[in-house]
Structures are given as structure tokens and as C-alpha cells.
Amino acid sequence: MKHWMAWTLLLLAALTGTAARAASGAGHQAQAVKVTTLSTMLADYEGLGEWGYAALVEVDGRRVLFDTGANPDVVLKNTEALHIDLSTVEDVVISHFHDDHTGGLITLRKALMQKNPGALSHLYVGEGIFEPRYHKDGKGESENGFPALAKAYLDTGGRIQQLSGPAEIASGVWLTGPVPRGHAETNWNPGLFIKTGGQLFPDTLREDTSLVIDTAQGVVIVTGCGHAGIMNIAEHAKAITGDARLVAVIGGIHLFAARDAVLVETAARLKGLSYLLAAHCTGIEATVRLRELLGLDRRTAVVAAIGSSFTLGKGIEAGAIAGWVG
């Protein structure tokens, strides 16, 4: 615990979302928004699908990489296939410690910094990501590979910013930091524990951080695995932006094994959502059920493929495999 603190620039977000929004008057709102899927299981490009997630978030000229996929080279190869240049992206977010979101970080940083030393040089994570995770006897090595990854990242000259609460990283673009868990969602695979005061407690992925974009039409949410629970994330996005209207949910929301009652409750809480670009651990059945429950269709609620995207004011471009071709 102590050694990583020495490596880490511990810049804690001091503002709560609502306070920040209130302090900044009407708040900043994003105009041009595009989110492109760079890693998920369904591949339109080069066959490079994987169990993982990554997306490029572009807002008013500012570009952010959200998660980095599972395998060291898949996001890099996918961006080459898609002709997307990430070398001008300086900010990268790792949503949580699971290696299907962290796997590409070092490969991408090392490859891209040859073109631009600032590429992926600023890493945002939620507080709790360094916590050791154990199996139920609490013995042996921690299952959390993130501290070692963070050291390798810092060795490349990158800096890490841990968030204890919401932070606006660009105009109208927020990171949630750890999300309050008002709803009892358990959208993760149980089995790992954290140790506090010598006692083991189930790991709830406290650090799980999503990206929230505040727009004139409502809120756009990008989430890696949605372990904090998409109902909780949506509620927190509302608290941060003061806007209850949901335009789009993009990414993994870990409902692939959810009971129907959970999907029904989730849809009720996401009522009014206009677009669902459901990637990774959302699950195909869950996506189709949510589409039905939310009154959406195959153009507006789509299983994401690599290269699929959401553009504010335009909707989802799904690609030939994943969606509707008119």
C-alpha cells in the first residue's frame, strides 16, 4: 500500500459533482460527441475481437481513451485496421482493475509515445484500484495485477491521477470516480475479497469509474464493465450534471447473466434512454431484452462491434455485422 503511494500523484478530486456544477453556473455542456468501440467480443475488422473493452471518446476536439482491452496488442491492431490514430490522445482512463480493461495500456503507451511523448501520458483511475484482492482464504499473492502495471506505466514517464469523487476532465466531460451504490446491484462475478483490519470482505470493485458527458440533449454514459451497476451510475450521472435525461449508454454493463427481474428493474430506471450501444459483458440476450423493455429498436439498441460508434445528433453506426443496414 505504501510503496505505490510514493509512485502516484495523489491528486484527489475535491469537488463533488453537484457542487462543481452549481459553482460553475449553468455548467459546461459538450457539443460534438463521438464514441467509437475499439475492443469488444464482436469483430467487424481483422477478426480482432476479445473478451475486453476499450473505446475512443471524442468531445469537441478533445480525445480520451477509455479502457485498453484485454490482450496487449488488440486495441493497437484494431486502431490500425480502423485507421484511427491514437497518438494525439493524452488522457486515458482505466475503469477498474480487471485485466480485460488494462491489458493494452503499456503496449499502447510505448507504441504511441514514439510519435508523441505525451500520448496516453495521463492516466485516470478511481480510488480503490490498488487494493490487493484475495481468494477466500486471504492467503497468497493478490489477484490484482494493477499495482505492477502502474509501476510499468510510471516507468514510461506517465502520471496517474486517482479520483475519490467526480472530476471534470474536459469541458462537459466527467469521470465519476467511485460511484455510490444506492441500488443493490451486483453486476460482477463474485469470488474475490479485500482485506480490511485483517478481515476479508467481498470485493465490490469500489474503484469502478465511468465517463459522463453533459450535453444539451441529456447525458451520455460510457462504462467499462458497469460493475458499480448501471442504475447507480445513471443516478450518479444525474447528480453530477443535474440532468435526468439519458441520451446514450455505451460500453459493458455486465448483465449477461442477469435474471429477468433485474433487466426489468434496470430498464425501468433507464426509462427514456434513446440509445444503447451495448458492448462486452452486457450480453446479447440482455441487450435484446433491454431493447424490448426500453421500447428501442435494432437501430437504437445494438450489440456493439469493433468500429461501431455513437455520434450525438446522429445515433449509432453499428457496422455490417452488428446492426441495421438500410
Q: Which stretch binds Zn ion (CB under 5 A): 62-70, 71-79, 95-103, 154-162?
A: 95-103
**What does the angle CA 67 – CA 280 – CA 315 come to, to the nearest 5 degrees?**
85
- Start-to-end CA distance of the chain, whole Å, equals 54
Q: Which is nearer to Zn ion, 98 or 289 (CB)?
A: 98
Give residue 300's Cα distance to chain centre: 20
Q: Which is nearer to Zn ion, 21 or 101 (CB)?
A: 101
What is the distance between the alpha carbons of residues 104 and 54, in angstroms, rounded to a whole number? Answer: 9
Q: Which is nearer to Zn ion, 79 or 223 (CB)?
A: 223
Residue 53: CB minimum distance to Zn ion, A: 6
Binding residue (CB under 5 A) for Zn ion from 175, 194, 225, 294: 225
What is the distance between the alpha carbons of residues 96 and 113, in angstroms, rounded to a whole number? Answer: 23
Q: What is the DSSP letter of 115?
A: T
State the number of binding residues for Zn ion (CB under 5 A): 3
Binding flag, residue 207, Zn ion (CB under 5 A) = no
Binding residue (CB under 5 A) for Zn ion from 54, 69, 98, 178: 98
Residue 113: CB minimum distance to Zn ion, A: 26
A 10 A CB-CB count for 181 gives 17
User: What residue type is 276 in one-letter code?
Assistant: L
Q: Which stretch binds Zn ion (CB under 5 A): 77-85, 92-100, 133-141, 312-320?
A: 92-100
Binding flag, residue 294, Zn ion (CB under 5 A) = no
Residue 81: CB minimum distance to Zn ion, A: 22
**What does the angle CA 64 – CA 75 – CA 279 come to, to the nearest 5 degrees?**
75
Residue 2: CB minimum distance to Zn ion, A: 26
Residue 132: CB minimum distance to Zn ion, A: 17
What is the distance between the alpha carbons of residues 131 and 187, in angstroms, rounded to a whole number? Answer: 19
What distances in angstroms separate CA 127 from CA 124, 160, 161, one per listed residue? 10, 11, 9
Q: Which stretch binds Zn ion (CB under 5 A): 98-106, 122-130, 159-167, 271-279?
A: 98-106
Taking alpha carbons only, the member of 210, 214, 100, 94 closest to residue 158 is 94
Q: Which is nearer to Zn ion, 225 or 296 (CB)?
A: 225
Q: Which stretch binds Zn ion (CB under 5 A): 66-74, 79-87, 217-225, 283-291?
A: 217-225
Binding residue (CB under 5 A) for Zn ion from 44, 67, 90, 100: 100
What is the distance between the alpha carbons of residues 108 and 122, in angstroms, rounded to a whole number? Answer: 13
Per DSSP (E only), the strands in 207-274 are 211-215, 218-223, 246-251
Q: Which stretch binds Zn ion (CB under 5 A): 54-62, 90-98, 147-155, 214-222?
A: 90-98
Q: Write out the residues near Zn ion by the rule CB under 5 A.
A: 98, 100, 225
